[in-house]
Copies of this chain bind each other. A is one copy, B any other.
Amino acid sequence: MSGNERSRLLGAAVDEELARALGRVVESVDGGKVADGIPELADVDPDRFGVSVASVLGRVYGAGDTGVGFTIQSASKPFVYAFACETVGTDAVHRSVGVEPSGEPFNAISLDELGRPENPFINAGAIVTTSLVPAADAEERFSRIHEALSRFAGRELDVDEEVYTSEADTGHRNRALAGLALAAGSLATDDVDSATDPYFRQCSLIVTTEDLALMGATLANGGVHPLTRDRVVGERAARDTLSVMATCGMYDRSGSWAFRVGMPAKSGVGGGIVAVRPGEFGVGVFSPPLDEAGNSLRGVAMLEELSARFGLHMFDHLRVPASPVGSATVDEGTRSVTLELRGELDFLAAEQVVHDAGRLVEHVDARTLRLDFDDVTYVSEVAERLLRATAAAAEEAGLDVQFPGAPEGIDPGIR
């Protein structure tokens, strides 16, 4: 056996875990009904079933039909929302669409007291969100959305033209929803079709579970695609998208979904679901038969399985944060203290640094404090403020403070 084969055997353990989970769901969950709003959706093979998991570190695992294409449908909504937030700003988006769970089905027609669709994931809200993408016409609008969603996936996605045509032909209700939004002043264009046409097209994009997993992993990773390293959207747009997925992703089951599964998610009537363990994974599942709420029956079961067996619930086993202080060295002779910092410095990490530094300075009655930033990869604003304030206090107390390797702005001298 070659080393290469050994490696493959070793690496297969995750795929095998996924395959076992898939098998359990196949055995225990049956029924549901394939979406039949349009004939093109009804013709799909109901037995297709696949799952993919992509980590923020760029590894992709899977089981079942991971390479089968299907239309993304409503699972496109979080990504178009993220793109709109990135393009025109979150505040501008939410002047036109709310952020409360509607407790209603996906095609609900209620508007909130400000005349906005209640959130960007009901159809009316998604159409409004689409309309917010700046463009001269329907074609340009879809072209921009197409490019954005392809970047989320890390490859160029195709449109299923038959599905698009059929949805456009029968989309009376969605056009009516757009008209209501127009009448209420929420639609960003006064040409209803220039919002609904790109909407029908974005719903008709063909994806695989791998695509959905990587799209989710891009959100999990703060907007950067784990493989292409392309920053598709900023951290704020990614955070806002996950927030909306956490409360509005599963229609009128948001509370129990957050309780049982605990992963921000979004489903589509094509049978796909995208779910995210923030900071860690994206998950894509696909199985066409739907439950009464319009979510993939086996897809939901698979995500429950992953949440329960893989510990993916976002509040499951909250990991004790790793210390940002890699090592602390005290030179008794010079009475200097050196802390080698590492990783990302956010509020919690900075608090640890400040705390440890204070304890050591006191312990050795230090004269010099050195905070080594060479292995630091990120400093948040509050962390910077804390470290600068600490440095200033230390200097005032007569210490010599040094920040080797620190990014500009941390240096207390440039306050």
Contacts and interface: CB of A to CB of B under 8 A. Distances in A.
Contacts of A281: 348
B316 A239 contact: yes
A378 B311 CA distance: 13
Nearest to A319: B344
Contacts of A311: 346-347, 380-382
A313 B179 CA distance: 36
A192 to B, nearest CB: 8
A365 B247 contact: no
Nearest to A309: B382
A45 interface: no
Given A176-B179, A220-B318, A317-B346, A397 B248 contact: no
A351 interface: yes
Interface in A378-415: 378, 380-382, 385-386, 389-390, 393-394, 396-399
Contacts of A364: 3
A10 interface: yes
A52 interface: no
A100 to B, nearest CB: 4
Interface stretch (A26-34, A144-152, A296-304, A352-360): A352-360
B399 A6 contact: yes
A224 to B, nearest CB: 10
Interface stretch (A12-20, A69-77, A159-167, A286-294): A12-20
Contacts of A348: 55, 280-281
A320 interface: yes
B173 A221 contact: no
Contacts of A14: 351, 354, 386
Interface in A44-96: 55-57, 59, 61
A176 B172 contact: no
Interface residues of A, number: 114
B100 A254 contact: yes
Interface in A333-377: 343-344, 346-348, 351-352, 354-355, 357-359, 361-366, 377
A258 interface: yes
Interface stretch (A180-188, A205-213, A266-274): A180-188
Contacts of A253: 100
7 contacts: A9-B396, A109-B180, A179-B179, A240-B259, A243-B259, A248-B255, A322-B343
Contacts of A222: 317-318
Contact of A239 (B100, B240, B243, B315): B315
Contacts of A9: 393-394, 396-397
Contact of A389 (B17, B243, B317): B17
A119 B259 CA distance: 11
A103 B262 CA distance: 20
A211 to B, nearest CB: 20
Contact of A386 (B8, B13, B109, B174): B13
Nearest to A5: B397
B6 A254 contact: no
A254 B103 CA distance: 12
A101 B101 contact: yes
A10 B351 CA distance: 11
A320 B259 CA distance: 25
Contacts of A359: 7
